[in-house]
Structure 1
Amino acid sequence: MTQKALIVRTGPNGHEGLEELNIELERGWRVAQVAPMGGATGTGDAPCHAALVIIERSDPDEGPTLAVEALERTERETGTVVEEVMKNVGEVMEENGADSPDGPMP
Structure 2
Amino acid sequence: EQIDPAVRKVLGVAEDEVFFKGSGCDLCHDTGVSGRMAVYELLVMTAELRRLLAQRVPADSIGEQAVRDGMTPLTQSALKVARERKIPLSEVYRVRL
TM-score interval (norm. to shorter): under 0.3
Instruction: Name the TM-score, length of structure 2 as normaliser.
Output: 0.25
The structure that has the greater radius of gyration is 1
Instruction: Name the TM-score, length of structure 1 as normaliser.
Output: 0.23
More strand by share: 1
